[in-house]
Amino acid sequence: MKSVPDGVFKPRPTASETKGDATTRAAREIIESERAARDKKSERLRLARLAQEQDEVTDHPVDDKG
């Protein structure tokens, strides 16, 4: 009995499936880059807010005398 070469009975994707796969990959890359930019911006804004809050605490000490 002869061995069957790999890929002989493997279904090949149609042109529309191949195009859909390429579109999906491109969309996922765009979404990932936008997520990374959003996370970077959120971190920058969080650090700026914490620095601003720290400046407010040092500029205006709370007086315990009511």
- Helices assigned H by DSSP within 4-59: 15-59
* Domain-located, residue 8: no
- Cβ-contact 21, 13 below 8 angstroms: yes
The residues, any chain, with a CB within 8 Å of residue 30's CB and separated by 6 or more, are none
Q: What is the pLDDT along the chain (66 residues), one digit of tens a residue?
A: 677 777 777 788 899 889 999 999 999 999 999 999 999 999 999 999 999 999 988 877 666 665
The predicted structure's pLDDT at residue 64: 65
Q: How many domains does the chain have?
A: 1
* Residue-range definition of the domain harbouring residue 42: 15-58
* Domain-located, residue 6: no
Tokens 């936008």 locate to 34
Supply φ then ψ for residue 34, to 5 degrees: -65, -40
